[in-house]
Chains A and B, each alone.
Chain A
Amino acid sequence: MSPDNPDFDPGLPQRYEDDIARIKELVAEDEENASEPAPQPDSSTHEEGHSLDADGASGSGTISGTVTDAPQNPVDDCHRFANIVEEIGNNAANPDEFIQRMVDRFIGPNLNVQSGNDFERAANIGNREFGDSGFKSQFQDQSNQVRHFTGGLWAGYRYGPGVGQLGMNSNEDNTLTPGRGVVNSGGGILPTFWPTEDSKADVALNAVSIPLGANLTPRAAEMVDRGDRGGWRKIPANPGYKGLATAIRTQVCQ
């Protein structure tokens, strides 16, 4: 930018000029991407998705825009789950409706997701519709991990990643103290770090499902001022519940 440019403000420090130039570049990139025609969903392979850039076990739950392959094995429990999640996501108008439909389908009917009381009173008899086939080995424990994942998703959505994770993990066993519950588990902290062999799969699954639940609300890309550190930071778009099926395929399924 030169002084001959009518937009040039001689009062701006040099680093702001650089920042503004960089923002203009990024905005131009976004506009260019937005103007590209959206890929059409393929009924045989499912629509394109977004792969998580979550940090492994901790499961940040944020989502980037990488296109992924269609499920390799749609027969197993995990990919069947992802396919149903995708259908629910396509038909839900907002995250509230999405999580309610998820709970209705995979945990039980007549549970209001906005009411914590419903989740503390109700008790449903399980069924064998789903097991743990197709889940990554670290999530397998011979139980219905679709139900468990949906529970973690609900906890993350309703309580956020911190409380949700400690609450869910308080129902797991640890190697230091006997029994489960908020007291015996040290508020969920002990199973988080010292799960028993039988609880490892559930604790690991919680570490993925709860952050995803906390990020179900879609968010557009934005630029954030770094404040005293100077400059700008670009926060990528998060497709939220619309990208959950792909997140399951990449993070949870084999």
Chain B
Amino acid sequence: MSSLSRTTLIVLTLVTLGGCRTSFKSEDIFSTEQRDNASFSVKITAYRERRSFGQVLGGAYYVFEAKKRDEPNWKRFLVIPYDDPEPIDKKSITLVDEKTGYTFMHRKFAVTTDAGKSWSLWDVSKIDALKDDRSCWIDKVSINENGNGTMEVKCNKSPSILSTKDFGVTWTETTRTTARR
């Protein structure tokens, strides 16, 4: 067997054996945000990324979890990786009422209407006009108890305002201004 074939085989074996999901350890937590009401809780936990080279340059994983108030275990519904380990924005979680709550970070948004049992996930790329602009990030979200709401999306070129009538399960673009952020 040539040295090239041997090297290729070793690399493929290692890759096959090593292919596993990221694990999160409590000692890597550097920021948390949690909101509770009488029926359910939502929590975001920021974990430092474990690196095999240059740990100091590591990013972070933001893990989103929810649970019924009387349940002991958290149920994970979203993980967002990011290159910079930044603290969690305090406005990332909002509980509208005893059944409805939403959370957002970067380009992703999630909403529950059954007290955290199930979550509807949404991404800025679902808007055709924004899907190719990777600079577009969710800046602010406001949803009322009737399910109507607005989302402000900031982009390098021009910000957008989206609206929803179903608690944020679907969003449509309503305004695009020319101001730069």
- Specify the chain A residue showing the minimal Cβ separation from B54: A119
Q: What secondary structure prevails in chain B residues at the interface with A?
A: loop
Taking A144-B83, A144-B84, A183-B14 as contacts, is the C-beta distance between A171 and B19 under 8 angstroms? no
> Which size bracket describes the interface of A in this complex?
35 or more
Contact partners of A168 in chain B: CB under 8 A: 53-54, 57
B56 and A123 contacting across the interface, CB-CB below 8 Å:
yes
Taking A107-B56, A171-B51 as contacts, is the C-beta distance between A177 and B19 under 8 angstroms? yes
Contact partners of A189 in chain B: CB under 8 A: 11
Contact partners of A186 in chain B: CB under 8 A: 11, 14-15
Q: Is A184's CB within 8 Å of the partner chain B?
A: yes
Q: Is B175's CB within 8 Å of the partner chain A?
A: no
Q: How far is the CA of A202 from the CA of B106 in the complex (A)?
A: 18
Residues of chain B in range 4-57 having any CB-CB distance to chain A below 8 Å: 11, 14-15, 17-22, 30-31, 48-57
- Specify the chain B residue showing the minimal Cβ separation from A176: B15
Q: Is A69's CB within 8 Å of the partner chain B?
A: no
Q: How far is the CA of A162 from the CA of B20 in the complex (A)?
A: 26
B18 and A184 contacting across the interface, CB-CB below 8 Å:
yes
A181 and B18 contacting across the interface, CB-CB below 8 Å:
yes
Contact partners of B53 in chain A: CB under 8 A: 155, 167-168, 170-171, 182, 188
Q: Name the residue among A123, A133, A189 with the largest chain B CB count within 10 angstroms.
A: A123
Residues of chain B in range 44-88 having any CB-CB distance to chain A below 8 Å: 48-60, 81-87
Contact partners of A127 in chain B: CB under 8 A: 86
- Contact flags A139-155 to B (C-beta < 8 A → 1, else 0): 01111100110010011
- Specify the chain B residue showing the minimal Cβ separation from A158: B54
Q: How far is the CA of A148 from the CA of B18 in the complex (A)?
A: 26
**Min CB distance, A114 to chain B, in Å?**
14
Q: Is A15's CB within 8 Å of the partner chain B?
A: no
Q: Is A108's CB within 8 Å of the partner chain B?
A: yes
Q: Is B148's CB within 8 Å of the partner chain A?
A: no
Q: How far is the CA of A209 from the CA of B52 in the complex (A)?
A: 19
- Contact flags A44-73 to B (C-beta < 8 A → 1, else 0): 000000000000000000000000000000
Q: How far is the CA of A122 from the CA of B50 in the complex (A)?
A: 11
A177 and B57 contacting across the interface, CB-CB below 8 Å:
no
Tally of contact residues, B, Cβ under 8 A? 36
**Min CB distance, B14 to chain A, in Å?**
5
Q: Which of B17, B48, B56 contacts A118 (CB 8 A)?
A: B56
Taking A140-B134, A143-B83 as contacts, is the C-beta distance between A167 and B18 under 8 angstroms? no
Contact partners of A182 in chain B: CB under 8 A: 52-53
B106 and A125 contacting across the interface, CB-CB below 8 Å:
no
Contact partners of A202 in chain B: CB under 8 A: 83
Contact partners of B18 in chain A: CB under 8 A: 177, 179, 181, 183-184
- Specify the chain A residue showing the minimal Cβ separation from B13: A183
Q: Is B137's CB within 8 Å of the partner chain A?
A: yes
- Contact flags B125-168 to A (C-beta < 8 A → 1, else 0): 00000000011010000000000000000001000000000000
Q: Is A226's CB within 8 Å of the partner chain B?
A: no
Q: How far is the CA of A147 from the CA of B14 in the complex (A)?
A: 30
Q: How far is the CA of A151 from the CA of B59 in the complex (A)?
A: 12
B57 and A147 contacting across the interface, CB-CB below 8 Å:
yes
Q: Is A92's CB within 8 Å of the partner chain B?
A: no
A123 and B52 contacting across the interface, CB-CB below 8 Å:
no
**Min CB distance, B138 to chain A, in Å?**
12
B15 and A126 contacting across the interface, CB-CB below 8 Å:
no
Instruction: Please list 19 pairs of residues, one from A and one from B, whose beta carbons are closer than 8 Å in the complex, sorted by A's number.
Output: A121-B56, A123-B48, A123-B58, A123-B85, A124-B85, A140-B134, A141-B83, A143-B59, A147-B57, A151-B54, A170-B53, A177-B15, A177-B19, A180-B49, A180-B51, A181-B18, A183-B18, A186-B15, A198-B81
List 12 additional contacts besides A126-B85, A179-B19; criterion CB under 8 Å.
A122-B55, A124-B85, A141-B83, A142-B106, A143-B82, A147-B57, A147-B84, A154-B54, A171-B52, A171-B57, A184-B19, A184-B20
Residues of B within 8 A of A (CB): 11, 14-15, 17-22, 30-31, 48-60, 81-87, 106, 134-135, 137, 156
